[in-house]
Chain A
Amino acid sequence: MASNLSINQKESDEMIVVELSGEIDIDTVNELRERLYEIVEKYPIDIKLDCANLNYIDSTGLGVLVGVLKKVKNNEKNIYLTNLKNTVKKLFLITNLNKVFIIEE
């Protein structure tokens, strides 16, 4: 079955933008973990996750994002989430992760 998640990155001096498209679930979460951990290792700068085309995330995906945030914070940097769809944002609110991540409106 083809992966239902696409991850594209755009680099700049100050920040790396990661575009997440499709669905983050128990089937695609390992791909997300590997890619984001790679990015954090390679670029010790702020990360912006552009979720404009992210249609779905589950608790496994949220768990990976928390793990990545810990690594980014170790570098004294941060993760910014932008363009969240309401259905995705709702899960950040339910789990109180809206207080942990910087969510840009």
Chain B
Amino acid sequence: MKQFEKADKNVSKEIDLVVPVLTEMVRVVRLTVSGIASTIGFEIDTIEDIKVAVAEVCNRIITKTDSNAQRYIIKCYAEADALKIRFFFEDQKPQDFELFDDEDVFGVSIINALVDEVSVDLSQQSNEIIALAVFLKESEV
């Protein structure tokens, strides 16, 4: 049927998740991000790495966010050769917010080891928290 034919649309492949600040939702995020990564063509080991890194960020957001926070936002950009994932507060970033502290050694090591790029937004004006990027390897293209 014509309406189901692939249209050559120039549509951004951005998928936004609005996630409740609840521990049980991290599993949902892991599964969803794995699904998005698989559509780009990452190998299963890379998908596993992405899943682990994203969950570590979610853990930090949950533990570091004040109890009034309801939700946070994850924007996944499925590009031809990369998956870029940006995390945001739904509202203004809390004053003096730090995603990582000295006690987060394991989490920081894991995130840095498993993704290609990590950038933490320290600006108080922006509500972005952190951005991760993973690029397709030659074997995955």
Q: Are A62 and B48 interface neighbours, CB within 8 A? A: no
Report the number of A-B residue pairs with Cβ-Cβ less than 8 Å. 49
22-45 of chain B: CB within 8 A of chain A: 23-24, 26-27, 30, 45
The distance from the CB of B116 to the nearest CB of chain A, in whole angstroms, is 15
Q: Are B110 and A59 interface neighbours, CB within 8 A? A: yes
* Distance in angstroms between the alpha carbons of A25 and B107 in the assembled complex: 12
The distance from the CB of A103 to the nearest CB of chain B, in whole angstroms, is 16
* Distance in angstroms between the alpha carbons of A62 and B30 in the assembled complex: 18
Q: Are A25 and B110 interface neighbours, CB within 8 A? A: no
The distance from the CB of B131 to the nearest CB of chain A, in whole angstroms, is 19
Chain A, residues 67-105, CB within 8 Å of chain B (1/0): the string is 000000000000000000001000100110000000000
Whether A59 contacts B27 in the complex (CB less than 8 A), given A26-B62, A94-B110, A94-B113, comes out as no
Counting chain A CB atoms within 10 Å of each CB, the highest count among B30, B48, B106 belongs to B106
The distance from the CB of A15 to the nearest CB of chain B, in whole angstroms, is 27
The residues of B that contact A58 with a CB separation of less than 8 Å are 52, 55-56, 59, 107, 110
B91 within 8 A of A: no
Q: Are B23 and A95 interface neighbours, CB within 8 A? A: no
Whether A62 contacts B27 in the complex (CB less than 8 A), given A87-B48, A91-B52, A94-B113, comes out as no
Which residue on B lies nearest to A62, using beta carbons? Answer: B106
Binding site for B on A (CB under 8 A): 1, 4, 23, 25-27, 56, 58-60, 62-63, 87, 91, 94-95
Of the A-B pairs whose beta carbons lie under 8 Å apart in the complex, a sample of 8, sorted by A's number, is A1-B24, A23-B27, A25-B23, A25-B26, A25-B59, A56-B30, A58-B107, A95-B106
